[in-house]
Amino acid sequence: MKLVRTVADLRADLAERSGRVGLVPTMGYLHEGHLSLLRRAREECDVVVMSLFVNPRQFGPNEDFEAYPRDEERDTRLAREAGVDVLFAPSIEEVYPDGFSTTIHVAGVSEGLCGAHRPGHFDGVATIVCKLFNMARPDVAYFGQKDAQQVAVIRRLVRDLDIPVEIAVCPTVREPDGLAMSSRNAYLSPEERQRALALSRALRAAEEVVASGERDGEAVLAAARAALGDLEPEYLELRSADDLSPVERVNGSTLLAVAAKVGRARLIDNVVLEAE
Ligand code: PAF
């Protein structure tokens, strides 16, 4: 595995390789969710590039950029073991040199849900992902379904700007007890981790009522809310899985998305409810 830190070195390295290039963008502190993306990229591509960059522009001023967990040594080892060919770990100055002035704003799908609670977050995501696409020029890029709104923003970005990359989305990876894997789970104390289980429990409760025939949005949300217990969500919403437009009934593929603060961790999770 080659470790590169500049765009010039990344391009020079990739120029010497041939075949289908897969990019797995990450902010590091790898967990099974990231590893599932790397494994799929390894299966489907000739060249696997992983980026490792904690992107300051997607954190708000009062968010956890400084505290975000980092362990480059461990990430490097895990990336090597997962068969990554090129690890791109640039500095902040390499990505945002003096004078950097461009922001990409994807309207519509970036509004509501996390967008309503994290102003500027999806501008930061769209900008860095667009840059990474231009830097690595992948044929395919891999993202996790856990960040469903991020996926919708990136799909829209790619369509709107005619970026020649295929977006592959991999299922959310969960701990055996249901907690969706996240680098931010590292913030949870043992007691908070137990409380955090309410998120996946709420999604399962919704799945169960939909499986038993419920289609009314309010009733599905009520089942999920009851399973959340005393955990107050930042949002708990049903959206069309296609374009994230709000829906009142569960029809076709419907996204149920939830976010809540547990201790200092802001956690998100979602499920796609399938109804005929
Ligand atoms: O999902 C993430 O880890 C980040 O938002 C991404 C896509 C790597 C952009 O910084």
Q: List, for residues 104-152, the tens digit of each pLDDT value.
A: 999 999 999 999 999 999 999 999 999 999 999 999 999 999 999 999 9
Ligand 1 atom with the shortest distance to the CA of 26: 8
Q: Render 197-244 in DSSP notation, one character per residue.
A: HHHHHHHHHHHHHHHTT--BHHHHHHHHHHHHTT--EEEEEEEETTT-
Q: Is the CB of 185 under 6 A from ligand 1?
A: no
Closest ligand 1 atom to the C-alpha of 125? 9
Q: Is 58 in the pocket of ligand 1 (CB under 6 A)?
A: yes
147 Cβ closer than 6 Å to some ligand 1 atom: yes
Q: 176, exposed or middle or buried, with CB in 10 Å at 0-12, 13-18, 19+?
A: exposed
Atom of ligand 1 nearest to the CA of 55: 10
pLDDT digits (tens, 9 = 90+) for 216-260: 999 999 999 999 999 999 999 999 999 999 999 999 999 999 999
Over pLDDT 90: what percentage of the chain?
99
**pTM passes above 0.95:** yes
pLDDT of residue 276: 78
- Determine the average pLDDT of the residues in 198-218: 98
Burial classification of residue 9, based on how many CB atoms lie within 10 Å of its CB (0-12 exposed, 13-18 middle, 19 or more buried):
middle
Report whether 152 contacts 125 (CB < 8 A): no
Longest Cα–Cα distance of the chain, Å, equals 57
Q: Is the CB of 129 under 6 A from ligand 1?
A: yes
